Structure 1
């Protein structure tokens, strides 16, 4: 029987396996991944990694590998306008916190991040099984037994589901969720532009949803473009000329001519919050526990917070001689993470409803609020720290300390 079984080979599943194995090498860790071996190499997207999450990756000896591919976000600009507006006034600007020892976030290509995590997992002796799909599980007082689609079975002391927002293992555990469909989809692609971005990320609040440009290495930017689902599907299916024309209307010409250099995909957006994060010998982490709107760019970082809290819970319990899969032990993790997750889910929900509309009185009030925040330096610093830095009550890994 193995000690820890992780279902899901994305960033959250891999980083959890690495964090636990790094702190407790004697624990046996197995990770199953439903995707074929090497499928992750085709992911053209990039992710925003907050300062606290990069501190965790630094402790795990992963940040050093991906740093050459990481582009720091030194400045964040927020505007509120319509697509047809000739001028988009800047209502709020966030500069990097001068007291911090690193930018409040970096953009990292997903291929670089997953590749570094997989290499680290292999060096630690973690058993990774690609093309392995779970069909369900049973748990009793002594063990959890994961049933595989090929008829096999794996027995473990603890099973952690990191299998995405539509988690089959969450459903198998009987954990209910709160769900809301926004009727929006996020279009993701990469563009090249003539002039440098200077490490500036921009978020334009448009009536259909936010349009975010995030800096990548060189004269390139990653886009997260929110549209009503029917319009997003139309844009994805359109030819390159129509797509780039619509893109230029939103991006503008401040960085010169644009060229789409990556594939374009659309992802449905909604709010999903698990009613419980744990059950007997079972825990949820990452998107399996929560799926939120990308308006704040905090989805991946919420998952890394789960990793830091769950890894510390598991390792501390093991050092005390406790059963790492017992519900009493796992309740610590749930208490640690549940409130923060619900708070972020509600915050992104409110922000999306507030900014994804064109009601004039609402626009006037939100623009006034953005202007007030922009003029109050202490309040701006607070928001920067909330977005990127770790708090004293956070798990050790997020504060740059080993477990």
Structure 2
């Protein structure tokens, strides 16, 4: 019972007499529901329209994403390292394809994007280690600025933010997807419980249960990623020494290593039932 309306733009959001949201699309169609879930990305039109503010700052770096064809068939291994200009990462895709994420200054990213694909391939070969395999071709590029955003509130009467509409996180460890999925799991749990209790699922007090479950947890993860970003991008000798010492200890102390790995998979903290494998229906 899902209808996909695409493409579509939001013209305005109104409230009906029962305080439920009513969405007017650019083509004049009117949609109404008990609750409007804003999962429309970092520049969320819903968030802006209903007046939910954000706190944000710029990391003064851009990320260049490069889609490549490689000599090796890729496996489920992600590679990342830290250099003076910022992190570099390799993400495996299907077959011989992979995705390079290259952090750098906005000027340098713009310079790299302006190169032909052949010249960009030469830059990749010079900048990335040979262990990733031969790069046969660059197939496409995209870039985006690194900006941290966090909604000052996730909810309003009849409206709730999830995923990038609620928060954008430093993509250092790929946690943006994880915490977005945890948002969705928590919201499903809250709405189902409210429905079973005979409550209005769009009521602000119901939606605040979701916000209570997720906002602090997301803030913790955002802060941890900022600490990692600053520590691993720092070449001051005492910081490098402590960083290497910490990594060495984490590698040798299995419980610590296990906890770090679970955290990187989004399996630590106060998890919603679905993330713990508990059926909610």
Please give the TM-score of this superposition, normalised by the length of structure 2: 0.92
Deviation at 1:258, TM superposition (A): 1.0
Deviation at 1:177, TM superposition (A): 0.8
Query: Could you say which residue in structure 2 is the equivalent of 1:291?
Result: 168
Query: Could you say which residue in structure 1 is the equivalent of 2:3?
Result: 127
Shift of the 147–258 alpha-carbon distance from structure 1 to 2, 3 Å rule, reads same
Q: Is the 8 A contact 2:35 2:202 kept in 1?
A: yes
1:272 aligns with 2:149: yes
1:158 aligns with 2:35: yes
Q: CA RMSD in A?
A: 1.9
Query: Could you say which residue in structure 1 is the equivalent of 2:215?
Result: 338
Shift of the 373–330 alpha-carbon distance from structure 1 to 2, 3 Å rule, reads same
Shift of the 152–194 alpha-carbon distance from structure 1 to 2, 3 Å rule, reads closer
- 1:4-403 correspondence runs (5 A): 125-139=1-15, 141-388=18-265, 390=267, 393-403=270-280
C-alpha offsets along residues 134-186 of structure 1, whole Å, 9 cap, x if unaligned? 12312354321112222332222111111111112112222111101111111
Q: How many angstroms apart in 2 are the aligned matches of 1:256 and 1:158?
A: 49
Q: How many angstroms apart in 2 are the aligned matches of 1:160 and 1:214?
A: 30
Q: Is the 8 A contact 2:40 2:164 kept in 1?
A: yes
Shift of the 255–158 alpha-carbon distance from structure 1 to 2, 3 Å rule, reads closer
Runs of at least 5 residues in structure 2 that lack an aligned partner in the other structure: none
Q: How many angstroms apart in 1 are the aligned matches of 2:272 and 2:241?
A: 40
Q: Secondary structure at the match of 1:264?
A: strand
Q: How many angstroms apart in 1 are the aligned matches of 2:76 and 2:7?
A: 38
Deviation at 1:209, TM superposition (A): 1.5
Q: Is the 8 A contact 1:189 1:260 kept in 2?
A: no
Q: How many angstroms apart in 2 are the aligned matches of 1:394 and 1:335?
A: 12
Q: How many angstroms apart in 2 are the aligned matches of 1:142 and 1:220?
A: 49
With CA pairs under 8 Å and 6+ residues apart, which has the higher RCO, 1 or 2? 1
Q: How many angstroms apart in 2 are the aligned matches of 1:383 and 1:320?
A: 38
Aligned residues: 279
Deviation at 1:374, TM superposition (A): 1.7
Q: How many angstroms apart in 2 are the aligned matches of 1:233 and 1:362?
A: 30
Q: Is the 8 A contact 2:71 2:136 kept in 1?
A: no
Q: Secondary structure at the match of 2:140?
A: coil
Q: Secondary structure at the match of 2:198?
A: coil
Q: Is the 8 A contact 1:214 1:221 kept in 2?
A: yes
Deviation at 1:188, TM superposition (A): 1.4
Shift of the 358–245 alpha-carbon distance from structure 1 to 2, 3 Å rule, reads farther
Q: Is the 8 A contact 2:42 2:165 kept in 1?
A: yes
Q: Is the 8 A contact 1:273 1:345 kept in 2?
A: no
Shift of the 331–255 alpha-carbon distance from structure 1 to 2, 3 Å rule, reads closer
